Amino acid sequence: MNIYKEALEMHKKNVGKIDIISKVKTNNEHDLSLAYSPGVAEPCRIIAKNPEELNTYTARGNMIAVVSDGSAVLGLGNIGARAALPVMEGKCVLFKQFGGVSAFPICIDSQDNEVVISTIKMLEPSFAGINLEDIAAPRCFEIEDRLKRET
């Protein structure tokens, strides 16, 4: 079997390459009360009063978004956001496997710089970092420069 057929089967069998797994047990009502309601209200109150505590009480400090618009994907070119998703999932696998960083693929269905920049800015509360991936030059540099200045 060639590598392309094998990769296609692997992607199909696993329905992608990444998953979200809980760090905490939720085996009973008490566990659920701690992980969700009503217990979750306490870290929310602390973060509301002291936003700098966000990374203390959430996974945000070890989470990044791998963001692409699909305009310059590997050797495939401008294949768009949907077709870029398998590559972004693969990049997330690399971050976790080799860096211990939780990464989530975000494929933006627009190649308009303003839309991409605005979307990334709105994601900031959820992610400690943004990895711009497979966005065509020179737009990728313009987006990066703006985000550095404006966030």
Which residues span the domain enclosing 113?
A: 59-151
Same domain, 117 and 44: no
End-to-end Cα distance, the chain? 47
* Residue 36 a catalytic site member: yes
- Answer whether residue 5 is part of any domain: no
Q: What is the pLDDT of residue 24?
A: 96
| Active-site entry in 25, 36, 96, 121 | 36
| Active-site entry in 4, 17, 23, 91 | 91
pLDDT digits (tens, 9 = 90+) for 97-135: 999 999 999 999 999 999 999 999 999 999 999 999 999
CATH number of the domain where residue 115 is located? 3.40.50.10380
Amino acid at 99: G
Same domain, 120 and 91: yes
Asked whether the beta carbons of 137 and 143 are under 8 A apart, the reply is: no
How far, in Å, CA of 18 to CA of 9, rounded?
15
Closest CA to 135 of 65, 83, 77, 63: 77
Q: What is the pLDDT of residue 145?
A: 98
* Residue 91 a catalytic site member: yes
Q: What is the pLDDT of residue 30?
A: 97
Q: What is the pLDDT of residue 92?
A: 98
Q: What is the pLDDT of residue 1?
A: 74
Q: Count the domains in the chain.
A: 2
Same domain, 93 and 66: yes
Same domain, 47 and 63: no
Q: What is the pLDDT of residue 49?
A: 99
Contacts of 64 (CB under 8 A, 6+ apart): 95, 101, 102, 103, 104, 127, 128, 129, 130, 131
How far, in Å, CA of 143 to CA of 146, rounded?
5
Mean pLDDT of 44-71: 98
pLDDT digits (tens, 9 = 90+) for 3-49: 999 999 999 999 999 999 999 999 999 999 999 999 999 999 999 99
